[in-house]
Amino acid sequence: MSALPSANNPILCPALFISAPGSNHGKTTVTAALARWHRDQGRKVRVFKTGPDFLDPTILERACGSTVYQLDLWLMGAAECRRLLHEAAQDADLILIEGVMGLFDGEPCSADLAELFKLPVVAVVDVAGVAQTLGAIAYGLAHYRPGFPLIGVLANGVASPRHEEMLRQGMPHGIDYLGSMPRNLQFKLPERHLGLVPAAEVADLDQRIAAAAAAIGQTELSELSRLPAPVEFAAIDPQEHPSTPKLIPLLQGQRIAIARDAAFSFIYPGNLDLLRQLGAQLTYFSPLQDARLPPADSVYLPGGYPELHLQELQNNAAMKQALHDHCAAGKPLYAECGGLLYLLESLTDKNGARARMLGILSGRAVMQRRLQGLGYQTIPFVEGAMRCHTFHYSTTVTAMAAAFTGERLYDTSAGERVYRSRGVTATYLHACFASSPQATAALFTGKIAVPEPAGDEDTSA
């Protein structure tokens, strides 16, 4: 983490929190449209995404032109969220935060984050099949918690002027109708099984965002086309967080090669920041296209969509050999989710197509048509508990014993397994490195302390 600012210098910056009654109401489209509209007016816009999402931030980054960080009260903690917001407020003209799922879904939920930082909330509501009942939805969101800072609703997907007239008729006193987005497929963002399609894969993304931004700029949306009221963003108070550790450069001089391409793209910007702050030098490579690794002391294989690139991964024999050589030399390798699938002997997609993967770890993986794993978990590393999240559609079959098992936040059932084989550590879990810098350093130096495993066969989701 960067040096802590003084606790006595709160900064004022206009800000909005964009939420909804649930998923698929258009939060990302509206947030991206607002970001692009204000950016086109010459303003510097910083955007954040609530929760552990990898995909929405790629769209939001294209809209605002700057890195989009996650804000997650459980994964990162309130102090780190506060630090990121205070840092952004120092040079931004506007801060936008997109919520996750519905406003009150989960523990902690979007509403908790908005209330903690006193952020005004706009609810985006998909009004297909809805008319005056929009007022009841708005009333419920505003009054579910006493004093909740909901400033109004934005109707998304309005079919006609008459439709909008009925929507307005139902609005209760004291909750503003902030305008509407028309029902227009030109705004719609494509999806696949893990959520939105990443920005790099949407050829006309800029045109879609520009069209949505133009709608935001119309007279009907003048309330949102202007800057909102400023919000006070305070720095971390050392008296409230006296135990915030000063980072020791535990990875000083370490060269970490990170897989980054269309198959492996699920990387938190905050994780990269933490590695740099620990002293690591980061380089990148493509398992799809490159024939060799850059010079590296350790390798990071993040999650992504290896199942969509089976033949390219199978056929890149040079890269497969380079990774085998890296591991044979006893150098550390850390893999998450899609990275774990790549390490196994084979991967089968949901249509039954099968391809040979690296075979560095024994076992096979098969994509399923239904979600197989979801939720927050903690890995109880000896060096420190690592907070993580899992979200995957594949299952694995392997005889490998688990070195660790994730501890679910809200469930007593067994969590995801963490496998260790010489210097390789692999799991379905996506880690938040800032939750345990010491464990992070151990992962990339190969010095994770592992208890004696129990040898059992695993069929895991």
Pair (315, 212) in one structural domain: no
CATH number of residue 94's parent domain: 3.40.50.300
Judge if 428 and 305 occupy the same domain.
Answer: yes
Pairing verdict, β 333-336 and 424-427? parallel
Domain boundary, last residue among 180, 198, 233: 233
| 437 and 300 inside one domain | yes
Kindly report, residue by residue over 82-130, the tens digit of the pLDDT.
999 999 999 999 999 999 999 999 999 999 999 999 999 999 999 999 9
Question: Phi, psi at residue 215, to the nearest 5°?
Answer: -65, -40
Q: Is the pLDDT of residue 243 over 60?
A: no
Sequence-distant (≥ 6) Cβ neighbours of residue 203 within 8 angstroms: none
Q: Domain total for the chain?
A: 2
What is residue 302's predicted lDDT score, i.e. its pLDDT?
98
Tell me the C-alpha distance between 222 and 179, whole Å. Answer: 8
d(CA 449, CA 164): 61
- The vertex-67 CA angle with 63 and 70, nearest 5°, equals 105
Residues 439 and 324 in one domain: yes
198 inside domain: yes
Residue 2 resides in a domain: no
Helix (H) or strand (E) holding 209: helix 205-216
pLDDT of 244 strictly over 60: no
Residue 32 lies in a domain: yes
186 lies in the same domain as 281: no
Which amino acid is residue 323, in one-letter code?
L
278 closest CA partner among 298, 243, 254: 254
pLDDT at 451 over 70: no
What pLDDT does 333 receive?
A: 98
pLDDT tens for each residue of 260-289? 999 999 999 999 999 999 999 999 999 999
Query: Does 273 fall in a domain?
Result: yes
Give 63's contacts (C-beta < 8 A, 6+ positions apart): 31, 32, 33, 35, 36, 39, 47, 209, 213
**Does residue 165 share a domain with residue 280?**
no
* Residue 188 and residue 304 share a domain: no
Question: What's the confidence (pLDDT) of residue 241?
Answer: 55
**Structure confidence at residue 6 (pLDDT):** 46
Query: How much is the pLDDT for 4?
Result: 40
Please report, for the domain that includes residue 343, its CATH number: 3.40.50.880
Which tokens belong to 365? Answer: 């993986």
147 and 103 in a common domain: yes
User: How many whole angstroms separate alpha carbon 391 and alpha carbon 458?
Assistant: 19
| Whether residue 210 has pLDDT greater than 50 | yes
Whether residue 81 is found in the same domain as residue 186: yes
Taking the alpha carbons at both ends of the chain, their separation in whole angstroms is 34
Give the residue from 185, 200, 233 where a domain finishes: 233
pLDDT exceeds 70 at position 313: yes
Please state, in angstroms and rounded to a whole number, the distance separating the CA atoms of residues 48 and 62.
Answer: 13
**What's residue 63's pLDDT?**
96
Q: Indicate which residues carry an active-site annotation.
A: 337
Q: What is the pLDDT of residues 2-38, one digit of tens each?
A: 334 444 578 999 999 999 999 999 999 999 999 999 9
Q: Is residue 305 part of a domain?
A: yes
Residue 457, pLDDT score:
46
pLDDT the model gives residue 459:
47
Planar angle of CA 111, 20, 197, nearest 5 degrees? 115
Q: Report d(CA 245, CA 241) in Å as an integer.
A: 9
Q: 195 — alpha (psi -120 to 50), left (phi > 0) or beta?
A: left
What gap in Å lies between CA 132 and CA 126, rounded to an integer?
Answer: 13
Contact 211, 217 (CB under 8 A): no
| Between 225 and 362, residue with greater pLDDT | 362
Contacts of 352 (CB under 8 A, 6+ apart): none
pLDDT at 217: 79
Token couple for 233: 């963003």
| Inside any domain, residue 242 | no
Report the C-alpha gap between 112 and 80 in whole angstroms.
15
Residues 429, 341: Cα–Cα separation, whole Å: 12
Domain shared by 219 and 292, yes or no: no
Q: Using one digit for the tens of pLDDT, what is the confidence trace for 62-78?
A: 999 999 999 999 999 99
On whether residue 241 sits in a domain, the answer given is: no
As a whole number, mean pLDDT of residues 410-427 equals: 90
Same domain, yes or no: 349 and 424: yes
Q: Report the pLDDT value the prediction gives residue 198, as an integer from 0 to 100.
A: 80
> Which structural domain, as residue segments, surrounds residue 369?
255-460
If asked whether residues 284 and 400 sit together in one domain, one would say yes
Where are the extended beta strands (E) located within 184-266? 191-192, 195-196, 230-233, 255-259, 264-266
Question: Residue 1: inside a domain, yes or no?
Answer: no
Distances (CA, A) of 174 to 156, 222, 230: 20, 18, 21
CA distance 30 to 36: 10
